[in-house]
Amino acid sequence: MSLRFRVLGSGSGGNATLVEGGGARVLLDAGLGPRQLAERLASAGVDPASLDAVLLSHEHGDHARGAAAFSAKWGVPLALTTGTFRAAGLAAAKLPAWAEIVAGETHTIRRLAVRAVAVPHDAAAPVAFVVSAGSASLGHATDLGHLSRGLVEALRGCDALLVESNYDPAMLRDGPYPWSLKERILGPFGHLSNEDVGRLLRRGLGEACRTVVLAHLSQKNNHPELALQAAEESLERAGRRDVGVALAPPDGTGWIAVRASRARHGQLRLF
């Protein structure tokens, strides 16, 4: 069973990731407008109506902006926590259907397993996702103020990781944002810095991980080169030459395949 993903949008302009596996096709977040989402799906060769679900991590506009209109236009159900549903004001929306996601639980869509993991962020009930098809799994974690033990544990078994590398601390401190906003971003319910991601890669990365995608970079408080350099240095220090690292640009990536690593299962292929 194969698993692959493709970032359709990343950063404050709008976040969405397309994931295919286990006979299912889902969007993680829908922070682009419905037309733009449909266009980016078309460039990936995907009919929007063929999606099984749109899963939302939390209600902030850069993750949820297009969700209701996209869902209604293409008849694709939403899946989200009750807290996100309420905070996004979706009770009044004309949705074809929606299903509740519960943090700490694993949900299945066809043969795709999606585990929701609570994350510390200034939203009603935000979650990260661990998506698995067969023995391959992808961890998808954006918008979190710090690396909680529960999240690090959940990501440890993943073969690929998409994680936010939102800001460079010095750029944020010296940058144009008002201090109240800087405090929010730097705080325990804000966003992860390049340094936070570095710590995750040095201390929390599981043996199975082979691919790291840095996402949700701030255009004002970060440079792609700084984020990449911090991640590469951390992997180097951890002796992880087996891990490839890439950036998710604002307008997305191509397809990225997730392969189950032998390390997680301790099995040797004989034939």
**Residue among 4 and 184 whose Cβ is closer to Zn ion:** 184
Q: How far is residue 186's CA from residue 193's CA, in Å, rounded to a whole number?
A: 8
The two tokens of residue 62 are 């850069």
Min dist. Cβ of residue 47 to Zn ion (A): 27
Beta pairing class for 256-258 and 3-9: antiparallel
Min dist. Cβ of residue 113 to Zn ion (A): 24
Min dist. Cβ of residue 20 to Zn ion (A): 23
**Residue among 122 and 233 whose Cβ is closer to Zn ion:** 122
**CA nearest neighbour of 164 among 10, 41, 1, 9:** 10
**Residue among 22 and 31 whose Cβ is closer to Zn ion:** 31
Min dist. Cβ of residue 57 to Zn ion (A): 8
Q: How far is residue 6's CA from residue 59's CA, in Å, rounded to a whole number?
A: 21
**Residue among 60 and 65 whose Cβ is closer to Zn ion:** 60
Q: How far is residue 226's CA from residue 130's CA, in Å, rounded to a whole number?
A: 27
**Residue among 52 and 59 whose Cβ is closer to Zn ion:** 59
Min dist. Cβ of residue 133 to Zn ion (A): 26
Handedness of CA 230, 151, 258, 263 (dihedral sign): positive
Q: Please, are residues 129 and 107 in contact by the beta-carbon 8 Å criterion?
A: no
Q: Binding residues for Zn ion, per CB under 5 A? A: 60, 62, 143
Q: How far is residue 32's CA from residue 10's CA, in Å, rounded to a whole number?
A: 10
